[in-house]
Amino acid sequence: MNNKIIQFGDIKISNCRPFLIAEAGVNHENSLQNAINLVKEAAKCGCDAIKFQSYKAETIASKFSPSYWDLSKEPTESQHELFKKYDSFDKNEYEILARTAIENNILFMSTPFDHRFADILCDLMPMYKIASADITNYPLLEHCAKKMKPMIISTGASTIGEVETAVRLIESTGNKNICIMHCVLSYPTNPKNANLNIIKHLKKIFPNYLIGYSDHVPPFHDCLALTTSWLLGARIIEKHFTLDKNMKGNDHYHAMNPTDVINFRNECEFIHNSLGQSVKEVLECEKQSRLQARRSLVINKNKNCGDVISKNDILIKRPGTGIEPQHLDLIVGKKLLCDIKQDELLEWKMFLSE
């Protein structure tokens, strides 16, 4: 895998290292200290950015909006009721979190779910993230796109036509910094439904744009969904992040923790180092093995100077430092210039030139 650098706004993304967003969402449980700890731990374990969610229950969901998540994990049956539990953060909290992120060398982000939060967050973060559910919220898409910051759009539960329409709308504002994230809007996502091949499909449909992956598969298999998405071409990867996967409710149960992040980074580094180059040639580490493990032409009995070599006089054995086996027919019928012993490797200087 080559080390191509992809420029996304002011962010430089290495082709051989995924840009990882820790989606803290509202896993802070309305505690600013919890949120600060999430920022610090995400930075410490190797995330590139940490992202929260900015909304107010009154502006995001009707009081009659039903749930669409696993009620055995999160028993709240109303979207409005769930959002109301976690909507206490506002401008002051996000400013503190953005400063904390700078101090810990990690990028701060938060998904705005309305125009007001899009404006509040504009100066605090380097890019906008639009949630899957808002891919057809054209007023919000256009409002954010006109800020001329890079746009990351999730595509869960959408058709390719809806994705294209959203991309064209962003383009119409003059904003061409777009990352399109494959996503499955199912909490949690069964691995059978991860549909990671869509990453290749998106790369084909949108060859000029960065493709990423927003994941909701529980990390029971060492985050293999993330690793696979990277190998398929996802360059920005987003995964819910928590410090305790055993906490009840919301997004803890399908999130990664710092140990998962470290393991994911190690897996990617191992894969990158293992993939190596794309041109077939003898590697430096193979040169000695090539000499010793290949075969040469070997005499199978003592022979005297002047003897003529027949095919029955020759065996093919290791090492490969003598005459190569493909030259067998050239040796047959040649006269020896010296005595040679059984099992001795044949060399060109042993024969009379014709």
Mean pLDDT of 204-222: 93
Strand, coil or helix: what is 128?
A: strand
| Tens digits of residue pLDDT in 42-82 | 999 999 999 999 999 999 999 889 877 677 777 878 888 88
Mean pLDDT of 318-339: 96
Tokens representing residue 130 in the block: 């639009």
The amino acid sitting at 41 is E
8 Å CB contact between 333 and 308:
yes
Pairwise CA distance, residues 241 & 116, whole Å: 25
Strand, coil or helix: what is 109?
A: strand
The beta-strand segments (E) located in 113-243 are 128-130, 151-154, 178-183, 210-215, 236-240
Strand, coil or helix: what is 97?
A: helix
Confidence of residue 36 (pLDDT cuts 50, 70, 90): very high
Scan for tokens 């042993």, then name that residue: 350
| Residue 307, pLDDT score | 96
| Tens digits of residue pLDDT in 221-277 | 778 999 999 999 999 999 999 999 988 766 888 899 999 999 999 999 999 999 988
Pairwise CA distance, residues 122 & 336, whole Å: 86
Scan for tokens 């002047």, then name that residue: 306
> Which has the minimum average pLDDT: 191-200, 204-213, 218-227?
218-227
Does residue 187 have a pLDDT over 90?
no
Confidence of residue 116 (pLDDT cuts 50, 70, 90): very high
Strand, coil or helix: what is 33?
A: helix
DSSP 322: S
Closest CA to 58 of 37, 89, 84, 40: 84
The amino acid sitting at 179 is C
* Main-chain dihedrals φ then ψ at residue 85, nearest 5 degrees: -70, -25
Confidence of residue 354 (pLDDT cuts 50, 70, 90): low
Mean pLDDT of 135-144: 98
Half-sphere exposure of 86 (CA within 13 A, CB side): 20
pTM (predicted TM-score): 0.89
Q: Which domains does the chain have, with CATH numbers?
A: 5-275 (3.20.20.70), 290-350 (3.90.1210.10)
| Residue 291, pLDDT score | 95
Mean pLDDT of 14-20: 94
Confidence of residue 3 (pLDDT cuts 50, 70, 90): confident
Does residue 205 have a pLDDT over 90?
yes
Mean pLDDT rounded to a whole number for the chain: 94
* Sequence-separated (6 or more) residues with CB below 8 Å from residue 92: none
| Residue 38, pLDDT score | 98
